[in-house]
Amino acid sequence: MYLVCGEALFDFFCQPDSGQRNKVGYQAIAGGSPFNVAVGLRRLGIDAGFFAGISSDYLGKRLTTVLAEEGVRDDFLVPVDAPTTLSMVAVGADGSPQYSFRGEGCADRMLSVEHLPTLDESVRGLHVGSFSLVVQPVADALLTLVRRESGKRLITFDPNVRLNPAPSIELWRSQVAKFAEHAHIIKVSDEDLELLYPDKEAAAVTEGWLKDNCQWVIMTRGRQGATVFTRDLGTWSVAARKVETVDTVGAGDTFQAALIAFLTERGLDEPAALAGVDKPTLTKMLEFAVAAAAVTCTREGPDLPYRAEVV
């Protein structure tokens, strides 16, 4: 079982203008990057749990229902008497989303060190990412968790930078560095690297990350595919799948879930196994993740694929 940690929220997607200036239409879809990864793992056939603060309000109950329907384990959820975070999403002409968050004092931020679970051998790994890395007290709780567990089980990490909830890029850099120190696999988009380190080449950033626990850094590059940086096998890329893109919401989360699923299916989801993975297997992993993300791009919102849809 893989335990995904972080925020759960509702994305409110702007709908086409009705012509009535006193009305704005939205479609609300359950989301949040870690939430999507947990759902994506289940749809790909991997046992998953979700560690998060979940509101007791109406939207929080809907989030809990979605997790139950998707088969995500709910015994790591922490009920919180605070509102559910809202993310207002506008999708550009190229399918890329723009986010604006309403999350101050909301339930997913309220996790603290006191809420950290005791994990048994059934938990193969942990995934962390997105703005839960930088808002308190959840950021300190998750950092404590990965520090505690990085010597015992696989840690995957996706910064998934969102400046709206925490606009200080210096804070993001500091927190990303702390989490990267304990991660075994880091997945990051080229856009996030550019935001975090605009004056550095990707190779220079990844070289620093690979000096700690990290074995692979995987950079997603949108229509240009994905590139992997490794300790011992070098650096190479795979091409993207050509599809009719509706939007790219959830594509990165799909890619992340697919990476974990590929490793879990082959019994490679533990730190000691990563160093023995050869280049052909790593290439197949990237191609599988690219294929999964391409499916999500053909749909509206974070509608992640099932295993049979990824070919």
User: What tens digit of pLDDT does each residue of 125-154 get?
Assistant: 999 999 999 999 999 999 999 999 999 999
Mean pLDDT for all residues in the chain: 94
Residue 60 has pLDDT above 90, yes or no: yes
Residue 24, pLDDT above cutoff 90: no
Q: Which of 138, 88, 141 is nearest to 108 (CA)?
A: 138
Of the options 2.30.30.90, 3.40.1190.20, 3.60.15.10, 3.40.50.720, the CATH number for the domain spanning 2-15+27-305: 3.40.1190.20
> 85: helix, coil or strand?
strand
Residue 222 has pLDDT above 70, yes or no: yes
Q: How far apart are CA 194 and CA 196, in angstroms?
A: 6
Tell whether the model's pLDDT for residue 93 goes beyond 70: no
Q: What percent of the chain has pLDDT over 70?
A: 97
Tell me the whole-structure pTM to 2 decimals: 0.94
Asked if residue 43 has pLDDT above 80, the reply is yes
Task: Supply the pLDDT for residue 164.
Answer: 84
Cβ neighbours for 129, distance < 8 A, ≥ 6 positions apart: 6, 33, 34, 37, 157, 158, 159, 160, 256
Average pLDDT, stretch 207-213? 95
55 contacts 30 by C-beta, under 8 angstroms: no
* 3-class secondary structure, 241: coil
DSSP code at position 40: H
pLDDT(98) > 80: no
User: 18 falls in which pLDDT band (50, 70, 90)?
Assistant: low
- Identity (one letter) of the amino acid at 252? G
Scored b (16 or more CB within 10 A) or e, 188-200 reads: bbeebbebbbeee
Residue 96 pLDDT more than 80?
A: no
Query: Buried b / exposed e across 101-115, counting CB within 10 Å, b at 16+?
Result: bbbeebbbbbbeeeb
The predicted structure's pLDDT at residue 287: 98
Using 50, 70 and 90 to split pLDDT, how confident is the model at 25?
confident
> Is the predicted pLDDT of residue 174 greater than 90, yes or no?
yes
The average pLDDT across 116-129 equals: 97
pLDDT reported for residue 58: 96
> 120, 121, 135, 122: which is closest to 52 by C-alpha?
135
